[in-house]
Structure 1
Amino acid sequence: MKSVLVLSTFLVILSVGETLMCYTCIFPSLTKRDCLKFPRMCQPTETCLLSKAVGKKGGQRLVLYEKGCAPTSLCGVCGTKTAMGIVFTYNNTCCSSDLCNQTAGVMPWLALSLWPALLLTLGLSSC
């Protein structure tokens, strides 16, 4: 009986360790650091997301940044979306360690992980 309790406790600890803690913005922000963010525990099937969307209104370029937990199917996805009556082109990137989507300065490992996205943005992508 005691070994069952120990094993159950161990499995609970392991299952808790499988989820990520990511920053989530309450609203999209106009700068990388401007987000009103809070840490959030993601679902086991989610990863940390960073999204940048660029649009134009009256000749003015607008950039929106979002972050949060997201399904891995959204990683590396780019496309268009409409917000505030403006069509934005967005690009999603993901990371998979706790609070890795903070963007308070680019961490070396994050910069390396963004190279593929940068290369795609420079002309290899259809977005």
Structure 2
Amino acid sequence: MMPCLFSFVLLLCLLPSVVPLFCYTCVFPAISPLDCIRYPTRCPPGQLCLSSKAIGQKGEFQVVLYEKSCVISSLCGITGEKFAMGLNFTFTNECCDTHLCNGASAIPGAFYTGALLSLALSLLFSQ
């Protein structure tokens, strides 16, 4: 009996997780990490959480934009350039793969709030 129970528990541990990944998404790109009006979003299967920073410059004028969303893995860990709004932007994409991992870490209580929200959303969508 005990070997059967052990085998069953081991099988459960090896099964892929069916809980969807939730990431923060900004309503619009922000000029400060704290200005990002973010909300949790359920990502499509296979996507990761993105935190992107773009620095735009034209002469002496410089603007920094922050964005959060879900993204396909091929867009993770890249740096590139874009031209938009008359500015040359250099962007960096960073990804992570745990619930709400792309949130701002500047607010100490945000981790606990995010963890509780993530748990509640996981329970809601796993039924």
TM-score (norm 1): 0.67
Structural mapping, 1:1-127, within 5 Å: 16-17=18-19, 19-105=20-106
**In the TM superposition, what is the alpha-carbon distance from 1:37 to its structure 2 partner?**
1.1
3-state secondary structure, aligned to 1:92: strand
Aligned alpha-carbon RMSD (Å): 2.1
1:23-79, Cα deviation, whole Å (9 max, x unpaired)? 001111001111111110001110000000111134122111011000011110110
Q: What are the ranges of 5 or more consecutive residues in structure 2 without an aligned counterpart?
A: 1-11, 109-127
Counterparts in 2 of 1:24 and 1:57: CA distance versus 1, 3 Å: same
TM-score by length of 2: 0.67
How many residue pairs end up in the alignment?
Answer: 94
**Secondary structure, in 3 states, of the residue corresponding to 1:54?**
strand
Taking only the aligned residue pairs, the percentage that are identical comes to: 48
Deviations 1:68-98 (A, max 9, x none): 0000111101101122121100010001110
Partner of 1:113: none
User: Larger Rg: 1 or 2?
Assistant: 2
Give the AA of the match of 1:46.
Q
